[in-house]
Structure 1
Amino acid sequence: MARPTKALISKSALRHNYKVAQSLAPDSNNLAVIKANAYGHGAVVIASILEPLVPAFGVACIEEAIELRQGGISKPILLLEGIFSSDEVEIAVANNFWIMVDNSQQANWVLNAKISAPVKVWLKVDTGMHRLGLQPNQVNDIYLSLRASENVYDDIILTTHFSSADEHASSATSNQIAVFNQTKLQLQNCLGKNDVIPCSLANSAALLAFPETRLNWNRLGFMLYGNSPLDQDNEASKSLMPVMSLKSAIISIREVSAGQSVGYNQSWTATRNTKIATVAIGYGDGYPRSAKSGTPTLINGQRAPLAGRVSMDMITIDVTDIVDVKLGDDVILWGAELPVNEIAEFSDTIGYEVLTRLSSRTPSILID
């Protein structure tokens, strides 16, 4: 016997989403971003499924990359936040990790390292997000220094990150593309017209919505897991298939009279005679505590709203209108028929956060 809470991870949906990306950018290298435990889906598991398909992976830091190597993953791994100390350069060389360089200190660590083989470098430009990256006027000197060093492979990838590619009405992405293109042109003039500068612009949102960003390398994150990052879906984003279905089951059913309250702090009060079901899932499992009353769940293909506050181990839902509901019935918290983005809206957050907060207490089960 076991608690019924579980996350079902679909291998076929994951492969499908990667193929959607490939169909949008067939001439690009499409890197799979599996930071933050593969957005809550299980980094080693996801990497194992994708390794035959992808040219490389991306993670936030060297600890995440080492976990993949210990899990048997052999493809190159890009450290998206770069390195945090000089000794990480040697570790990167030993493990075929690629290094993102986004400031002069990281560049100097690479240049001054005593290493037995060169390392592959990505060079990030701050084109307007103002979080990480070199200023455009720094790029030429640092790029040329890295390229001249025996510590670095010649094919340095020039990259940036978009702040607002998910917002269809924003001009920010077009502005950032213009800054990037001008920066690349200035670098090209320093190198000579025959020198090729490989580039990476597209994250998930840009890949889906901005065809001009589909260059040598794309970085697939949220869309890989079957969820749209866009504020207005297009044909491609609608074709994505959620990889995770979070499920549990009803463990109690009771009748509550009109005027009675349910759960902590009596935040929800019945306006009619109501049938309340208790479900074995809570914020201790990763279900968002901020989910409001009215947040939908699915039982037997029918929607049942959250009634009362999310507690650590349980939620209560209104099943008055669900036909033939009974103890043990499966409850879907999010999945193919109930997008995680919808749950996020009811919780005043985004789907990224909902997924990455999944608890280690919630077992993941692979399905075809």
Structure 2
Amino acid sequence: MLVDLGAIVANWRDLSARHASGPVAGVVKADAYGLGAGPVARALAEAGCRHFFVAQFSEGLALRAALGAGPMIAVLGGFPPGADGGAGLTPVLNGPTDIAAARAAGLTGAILHVDTGMERLGLNAAELAAAGDLSALGLRYVMTHLACADEAGHPLTALQATRFAAARAALPGLPASFANSAGLFLGEEFASDLARPGCALYGINPTPGRPNPMRQVMRLLVPILQIRDIAPGTTVGYGAAWTAARPSRIATIAAGYADGYLRALSGRGTAFVEGQAAPLVGRVSMDLITLDVTDAPAAQVGGMAELIGPAQTPDHLAALAGTIGYEILTSLGARYRRRHSPA
């Protein structure tokens, strides 16, 4: 797997240029969407990013070790029981229990999460009102999370903006964090003191249905282990799910659903060999995929087949699998060797 850190940094700079009201964070949860949180965060930090978000406390600890002191590292899921701020992490307070724990521990410098329509984590309006005076917590930001920002014109998005404005009015002077990747493309109403893009940093289209404004940041190449010639009528793979209709060359490559190449792509996926399309034939198995390289004469044992790249982005592959680009990236397994080009 080739990860272009320069493209990730360029995406962050492009998003920062869109958000004139304040800085843009780097969301690097789930190992930077499968691309390597340490190298990605270090490249962003060197480019000037000073705010990072992860999902879990363990991710925060690993990221602090990778970045050292300085940048804010916020933990979206909050701290586990017994944890404190000694690791230099910033917890997100997601409900009344978190607020009570922070008060009891004398914790300061957290981020308050209010729910404006996701119905997931965060305080609803009644819980926020009941929380009383929060000034002793020395909160850094109040945040919310958009549920439908990538669906143009969805009524919940405008409703969330209204609800978040009310929450901010109840917390005067507290900096706010609002827009996610798609939210950055919704206009000034969604500007705040800190934006939190995730998928757009990694080349996923934050504006579905329109041309992707982001640079692609990775290529996934896997080796061809074997090529064999088969006669018409020969079946390939588990369940004999594919039958050759002509004399065919079948290449077996070293990837499978254990590596995050989804089984749903059986009979649908395509690889590229020296720029030539090679359709996936048969079922995706745990460790192997078979391709029809009859029309890809450059295919050879020891060569490489490209599963993700310029000709087939994560979004394109996701559409074939009936999922989203996020799942494609975050499913990429640990057996791929990740090579990071300099920013």
The normalised TM-score by structure 2 is: 0.93
Structure 1 residues 324 and 214 mapped into 2: Cα distance closer, same or farther (>3 Å)? same
Q: Which residue of 2 aligns with 1:98?
A: 90
1:108 aligns with 2:104: no
Task: Tell me if the contact between 1:102 and 1:133 (Cα under 8 Å) persists in the aligned partners.
Answer: yes
Q: Which amino acid aligns with 2:100?
A: N
Show CA shifts across 1:264-302 (max 9, x none): 111122233222111111122222222131312111112
Find the residue that maps to 1:217 and give its secondary structure.
coil
Measured in 1, the distance between the counterparts of 2:275 and 2:328 equals 22
C-alpha contact (below 8 Å) 2:237/2:282 kept by paired residues: yes
1:127 aligns with 2:122: no
Deviations 1:29-67 (A, max 9, x none): 211111111111111121111112211110011111111
1:210-359 matches, within 5 Å, as 210-234=187-211, 238-359=212-333
**2:74 alignment counterpart:** 78
Q: How many pairs were matched up?
A: 340
Deviation at 1:209, TM superposition (A): 3.7
Give the Å deviation of 1:141.
4.2
Question: 2:205, 2:213 within 8 Å by CA — same for their partners in 1?
Answer: no
What is the letter of the counterpart of residue 314 of structure 2? Answer: V
Q: 1:206 to 1:326 in 2, by over 3 A?
A: same
The answer for the alignment partner of 1:18 in structure 2 is 12
Query: Match for 1:146 among 124, 131, 134?
Result: 134
Structure 1 window deviating more from structure 2 (263-272 vs 125-134): it is: 263-272
List gaps (5 residues or longer) in structure 2. none
Structure 1 equivalent of residue 53 of structure 2: 58
Structure 1's 218 and 265: CA in aligned 2 closer, same or farther, altered over 3 A?
Answer: same
Q: Decide which moves more: 261-270 or 281-290.
A: 281-290
Q: Secondary structure, in 3 states, of the residue corresponding to 2:258?
A: coil
Runs of 4+, deviation exceeding 6 Å: none
Change (3 A) 1:145 1:83: farther
- CA distance in structure 2 between the aligned counterparts of 1:221 and 1:112, rounded to whole angstroms: 33
- 1:284 is paired with a residue whose SS is helix
Q: Distance in 2 between matches of 1:178 and 1:160?
A: 12
- Cα contact 1:126–1:133 (8 A) shared by 2: yes
Q: Mean alpha-carbon deviation: is it higher for 316-325 or for 128-137? A: 316-325
Q: Supply the AA of the counterpart residue of 1:24.
A: R
Q: Distance in 2 between matches of 1:156 and 1:145?
A: 15
> Does the CA contact (< 8 Å) of 1:168 and 1:232 recur in 2?
no
**Contact map agreement 1:162 1:173 (CA 8 A) in 2:** yes
Which residue does the alignment assign to 1:170?
154
Q: Following the alignment from structure 2 to structure 1, what is the Cα–Cα distance between the partners of residues 181 and 13? A: 13
C-alpha distance in structure 2 between counterparts of 1:105 and 1:22, whole Å? 34
d(CA) in 2 for partners of 1:335, 1:178:
40
**Helix, strand or coil at the partner of 1:253:** strand
Q: Could you list the per-position Cα deviations for residues 226-254 of structure 1 after superposition, in whole angstroms to 9, with x for gaps in the alignment?
A: 111432225xxx23122221111222112
Which residue type is aligned with residue 79 of structure 1? V
> Do the aligned partners of residues 319 and 209 (structure 1) sit closer, same or farther apart at CA in structure 2, a change above 3 Å counting?
farther
Q: Give the aligned residue type for 1:106.
A: D
> Structure 1: any 5+ residue segments left out of the alignment?
1-6, 189-194
